[in-house]
Amino acid sequence: MNDPNPSDLPPPFHNIPGLSNFRDIGGWPIATPPSSNTNPDALTPAPPPQYRVRHHILHRSADPTLLPLSSQKTLSSAPYNISTIFDIRSIPQLKRAGGAYDFSSHGIERVWLPVFGEEEYTPEKAGLRYVQYSADGTEGIVGAFEEILRAGGATFAHILLDANAVEVVDGEGKDRACLLQCTTGNNRSGAFIAVLLSLLGVSPSHIAHEYSLSAVGLAATRAQSVERLLKNAAFVAAVGDQAPYRAERMLGARPESVIAMLEMVERRWGGAEGYVRGVCGLEVWEVERVRRVMVEKVEGDG
């Protein structure tokens, strides 16, 4: 069976030539937005209206390093209006990709916020991470997700505060949106997006489905990604003669992985808000602003 052409992918994907796994995280349903406000007098006794994550605030994708000029222009123009790209890759990955990119000629600022420092990419540490990502079951990948979340507190705080410092006009971000990217837009981006959606009140089943969409978004470039992994000496040394199978597994986006991750977040930090406040350092009012900006009422409900 042939891999799908990116231009044939259904919403929430958008076709940007040269960019894999590009999608808006908006649109996911929320039954009742959570709140940090524990004052019972502030609660509304009426049945809650239906809500959803607001579109055109935050997008996610794989590495945009090789984007042609026409695609850079498309990203910075309506309806996307991308003005900031958060690049959360580490130095060794930047080197393998040919270095950092510069889209400033189209009004797009690259903000480099690596989750892991260069010291975390010794052959031993990189090998352990490869084993975790490609392991059977969920224990290994949840361990990798936990490491991402622990190391990425400052990174994710910056993204949350910057991406939500927008003016909402007519229900959408006004002339400014952000893009979060790692190498494939799958695991580091996926862990953060999952916690953010949980913070906003999206159900675990919908979060797991959103995460699993990366398998679709990366299908067209899957063969090249597997080939790249099989040429990575640290990966092959870590997984041994199972390298082809482990490469395929590492590039997956299994919904049970993110369900298990959310359960871990609940155990470790008391849920998404506990993580965002305890590890990322956001104040209550900052959490509430994130929710206010990123959640909207569905018209016609309530």
C-alpha–C-alpha distance, residues 189 and 182, integer Å: 6
**What are the counts of helices (DSSP H) followed by strands (DSSP E) for the chain?**
13, 10
**Can you tell me the mean pLDDT for 207-218?**
95
What pLDDT is recorded for position 69? 95
| pLDDT, mean of residues 27-31 | 91
Query: What is the reported pTM?
Result: 0.90
pLDDT at 1: 33
Q: Who contacts 172 (Cβ-Cβ below 8 Å, separation ≥6)?
A: 54, 55, 56, 57
Distances (CA, A) of 102 to 12, 16, 87, 99, 124: 26, 17, 12, 10, 32
Q: Report the DSSP beta bridge partners of residue 169.
A: 172
Convert the pLDDT of each residue in 231-278 to its tens digit: 888 889 999 999 999 988 888 899 999 999 999 999 999 999 999 999
Q: Cis ω on the peptide bond leading into residue 12 (within 30° of 0)?
A: yes
177 close to 167: Cβ distance less than 8 angstroms: no
Identify the band that residue 288 occupies on the pLDDT scale cut at 50, 70 and 90.
very high
Q: Is pLDDT at 17 greater than 90 in this prediction? A: yes
What value does the mean pLDDT of the chain take?
88
